[in-house]
């Protein structure tokens, strides 16, 4: 139940991403900017979630980012290239 609550807390992050989307005729700008990274890292720290990798798909545009730690014990960061599937 705690994990579900933590996961649902990340939902506002996705709303922030979608709210920053550009006009479709302009070249796409990633919504996963420095402000989003700061918010993601604060949220991960607050909920004690080690790390997350995510992707935002909007038509043919795909934006992805990794935040936090993949392995806390050996201080391995989350890298977006490690994503093997998208739900």
- Read off the pTM: 0.61
Task: Look at residues 38, 33, 32, 71 and name the one whose alpha carbon lies nearest to residue 54.
Answer: 32
Which one has a higher pLDDT value, 66 or 84?
66
Q: What sign does the dihedral 30-61-53-42 (CA atoms) show?
A: positive
Instruction: Please compute, for residue 46, the number of CA atoms within 13 A of its CA located in the half-sphere on the CB side.
Output: 11
Q: List, for residues 1-59, the tens digit of each pLDDT value.
A: 555 555 555 556 555 555 555 555 556 788 889 999 999 999 999 999 999 888 888 88
pLDDT at 72: 82
* Cβ atoms within 10 Å, residue 27: 7
pLDDT at 16: 55
């Amino acid at each position: 139940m705690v994990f579900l609550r933590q996961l649902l807390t990340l939902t506002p992050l996705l709303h922030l991403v979608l709210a920053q989307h550009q006009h479709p005729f302009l070249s796409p700008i990633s919504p996963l900017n420095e402000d989003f990274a700061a918010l993601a890292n604060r949220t991960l720290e607050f909920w004690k979630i080690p790390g997350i990798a995510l992707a935002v798909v909007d038509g043919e545009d795909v934006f992805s980012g990794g935040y936090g730690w993949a392995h806390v014990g050996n201080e391995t960061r989350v890298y977006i290239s490690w994503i093997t599937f998208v739900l």
